Amino acid sequence: MKTRRRFRLWIAAVCAIAVAGTGTAATWALDRFVIWHVEVSDVSQYEAENSTVQPTTTDDATVTADLTDTSYTLGDTSITITTVTTGSGDDTLTYYVADVVLDDATTLRSAFAHNQFGENITEKTSDIADDHDAVLAINGDYYGFRDTGIVIRNGVIYRDEPARTGIAFYLDGTARIYDETTTSAEALLADGVWNTLSFGPALVEDGQIVAGIDQVEIDTNVGNHSIQGDQPRTAVGLIDTNHLVFVVVDGREEGYSRGATLPELAQIMRDLGATTAYNLDGGGSSTLYFNGQVVNQPSNQGERATSDILYVAG
């Protein structure tokens, strides 16, 4: 978001002062926004040791993927990429849709920057995707910007600090919007949750656009201000069991794409058939990766590093 970008410029200036050793405020800024705070140094090993569910894999050497510039099929998993442009002139809106059908719910996975979990650890979406042989990936919820929320990834609990409305993806191929403050990570895991995301707001629930999203602010703490207005966006939605839709909206580029409001994003998701949909980190983070390249045009004139991705392995 523009306000976050301005804030980060301010942080950069403050950090420069900190390097020169001129104040506790600057030292605090370095610690809060720059210095890596690693809680799990090897996520792959951690998940292998702690997950009770292993992702499905295709072991049949005779099965090969059918891959084009806009589609992917492997067994019962399929991905179709579509570019949509509406309006004209200053009102042009461009967004990218990934229609995803999974052979199994565990085919949708999460990955962290640098294979580590903690605050301020960031890496480009495409680099994280490359490291995990992803055929499709979107940026996640930027969990590393904050120390709250319920974070369950690939069937493993990483954080249990309920704070907001989240979305949970279940092993039965469904997804639900839920209030983090009414449950716990352990309870969700016991109910069959495979992944959670903690950002928001919820866009569509029970097939209906959530009321009041044009007034919602997420984490209005220092450095994470308004998410309203025309912005680049990333959203994920559930159409049916093991049938997902990812949407990435470009923005901040006159004549190409102005960005979308939250109500517009919710309408896009509902029109695509989503019965459940959720807003993820946007602005410069919004990135859609497919078949080895970034498909959209991130608003920072290039990818912004983030904490995590959702992906489908190739």
Is the model's pLDDT at 197 over the cut of 90? yes
20 and 152 together in one domain:
no
134 and 81 together in one domain:
yes
83 and 107 together in one domain:
yes
- Classified as helix, coil or strand, 175 is strand
30 and 48 together in one domain:
no
107 and 255 together in one domain:
yes
27 and 138 together in one domain:
no
Least confident of 168-172, 244-248, 267-271, 299-303: 299-303
pTM of the model: 0.90
85 and 7 together in one domain:
no
CB burial readout 138-160, b (16+ within 10 A) else e: bbbbbbbbbebbbbbbbbbbbbb
Is-contact 121 112, C-beta < 8 A? yes
234 and 125 together in one domain:
yes
223 and 92 together in one domain:
yes
62 and 203 together in one domain:
yes
Domain carrying residue 242: 42-313
Query: For the chain, how many structural domains are there in total?
Result: 2
- pLDDT band (50, 70, 90) for residue 59: low
- pLDDT band (50, 70, 90) for residue 60: low
User: What is the rounded CA–CA span in Å between residue 73 and residue 78?
Assistant: 4
172 and 292 together in one domain:
yes
User: What is the rounded CA–CA span in Å between residue 246 and residue 233?
Assistant: 11
What was the pLDDT predicted at 18?
45
- Mean residue pLDDT of the chain comes to 90
147 and 27 together in one domain:
no
The beta-carbon contacts of 79-86 under 8 Å, at least 24 apart in sequence, are: 79/135, 79/136, 79/290, 79/312, 81/288, 81/290, 81/295, 83/295, 85/257
